[in-house]
């Protein structure tokens, strides 16, 4: 709904401020419930799911969703048994010549942005300084294409899933393309910030190839934090909330990359579940921030490939 041009900007800001916490809270509470039951939302039981592993995307634009919307849509696919990860807004379904089936219930995702209220612009002009922007979240609803009818045939075609033999070379090629220094030795996996290298145990010591690649991609998530790359602060004490935040970003980065590459995600740090629960309960915005940072990290790494899907623009997703 568009803002009434006669409505005071402050009233609009207050109304959006009222909406924002409830949306943060809704998503966070859902993820907390999953973690409390020992289930990690970004490591879904894909073998039991009705659709192939992959990133959720817009059926209209063929571009992947990003951030916390990935977690929300993965949950909807698993929980409701959809056979595809293709989504449309109500208007997009109409624009394609189809429509949402009667009585179908959509899935709420979000669009984050900032705006400058009129009163703040006027104050800044008077005082001669920069206006302050107000962050907000906007809800909008998408429908799985199984909930629609009348769509053109090409929309219903699911993206091809590469054969298992083709998946791991693609992961290896991505890792090699980054140019990251990876040293295989010892019994621990970590990113050494000051020396800017990744340490991994010998490949043969991993239980499965999936475990190796999930671990390598997790450490590459930390690698993106270097000042010459995405410049996240890694100087945190083990066990602190800031340390748990960075581990959550790396876990989500690995999960998003695994989905892109067709590798079943693994739980790399089950011992962090309690820390993540504390973090999410203390800060309803934490999962939004971590998922956003993980999307930036995975996009940064996927840019080393010659081909890859870009994240769906927020403004386009809201149409």
Pairing of strands 57-58, 134-144: unpaired
Spatial distance between the Cα atoms of 87 and 141, rounded to a whole number of angstroms: 10
Tens digit of each residue's pLDDT, the chain (319 residues): 333 333 434 444 444 444 444 678 888 888 888 888 877 888 765 555 567 778 999 999 999 999 999 999 998 988 888 888 999 999 999 999 999 999 999 999 998 888 888 888 888 888 888 888 887 788 899 999 999 999 998 887 655 554 544 458 889 999 999 999 999 888 889 999 999 999 999 888 888 889 999 999 999 999 999 999 999 999 887 778 899 999 999 999 999 999 999 888 877 666 677 888 899 999 988 999 999 999 999 999 999 985 444 445 444 444 4
Single out the residue of 314, 263, 312 nearest to residue 64, CA to CA.
312
Q: Is 131 exposed, middle or buried (0-12, 13-18, 19+ CB in 10 A)?
A: middle
Displacement of CA 178 from its chain's centroid (Å): 21
Q: What is the pLDDT of residue 177?
A: 94
| pLDDT for the residue 38 | 77
Alpha-carbon distances of 185 from 11, 200, 212, 214, rounded to whole Å? 60, 6, 13, 17
- Overall pTM surpassing 0.85 (yes/no): no
- Measure the CA–CA gap between 187 and 267, rounded to whole angstroms: 18
Q: How far apart are CA 57 and CA 69, in angstroms?
A: 10
| Whether the Cβ atoms of residue 234 and residue 225 lie closer than 8 Å to each other | yes
Q: Alpha-carbon distance 170 to 51, whole Å?
A: 21
Could you tell me the residue ranges of all domains in the chain?
A: 9-156, 164-307
Token pair, residue 267, equals 């739980």
SS3 236: coil
For position 168, what pLDDT does the model report?
A: 82
Rounded to the nearest 5 degrees, what angle is found at the Cα of 260, between the Cα atoms of 24 and 283? 20
Beta-carbon contacts of residue 170 (< 8 Å; ≥ 6 apart): 162, 261, 262
Predicted local confidence at residue 250, as pLDDT: 95
Quickly list DSSP for 102-164. TT---EEEEEEEEE--HHHHHHHHHHTSPPPPEEEEEEEEEEEGGGEES--GGGGPPPPPPPH
């Amino acid at each position: 709904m568009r803002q009434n041009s006669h409505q005071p900007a402050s009233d609009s800001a207050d109304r959006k401020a009222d909406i924002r916490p409830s949306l943060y809270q809704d998503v966070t509470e859902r993820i907390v419930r999953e973690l409390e039951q020992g289930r990690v939302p970004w490591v879904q039981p894909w073998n039991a799911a009705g659709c192939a592993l992959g990133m959720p995307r817009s059926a209209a634009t063929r571009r992947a969703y990003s951030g916390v919307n990935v977690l929300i849509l993965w949950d909807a696919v698993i929980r409701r048994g959809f056979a595809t990860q293709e989504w449309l807004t109500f208007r997009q379904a109409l624009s394609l010549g189809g429509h949402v089936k009667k009585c179908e219930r959509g899935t709420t995702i979000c669009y984050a942005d900032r705006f400058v209220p009129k009163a703040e612009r006027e104050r800044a002009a008077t005082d001669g300084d920069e206006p302050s922007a107000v962050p907000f979240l906007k809800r909008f609803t998408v429908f799985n294409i199984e909930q629609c009818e009348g769509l053109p045939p090409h929309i219903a075609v699911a993206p091809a899933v590469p054969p298992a033999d083709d998946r791991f070379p693609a992961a290896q090629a991505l890792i090699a393309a980054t140019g990251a220094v990876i040293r295989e030795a010892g019994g621990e996996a970590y990113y050494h910030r000051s020396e800017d290298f990744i340490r991994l145990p010998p490949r043969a010591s991993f239980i499965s190839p999936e475990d190796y690649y999930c671990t390598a991609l997790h450490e590459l998530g930390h690698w993106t934090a270097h000042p010459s790359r995405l410049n996240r602060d890694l100087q945190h004490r083990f066990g602190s909330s800031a340390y748990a935040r960075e581990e959550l970003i790396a876990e989500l980065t690995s999960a998003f990359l695994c989905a892109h590459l067709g590798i079943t995600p693994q739980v790399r740090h089950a011992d962090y579940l309690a820390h993540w629960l504390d973090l999410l309960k203390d800060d309803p915005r934490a999962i939004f921030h971590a998922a956003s940072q993980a999307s930036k990290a995975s996009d940064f790494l996927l840019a080393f490939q010659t081909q890859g899907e870009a994240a769906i623009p927020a403004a386009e997703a809201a149409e």
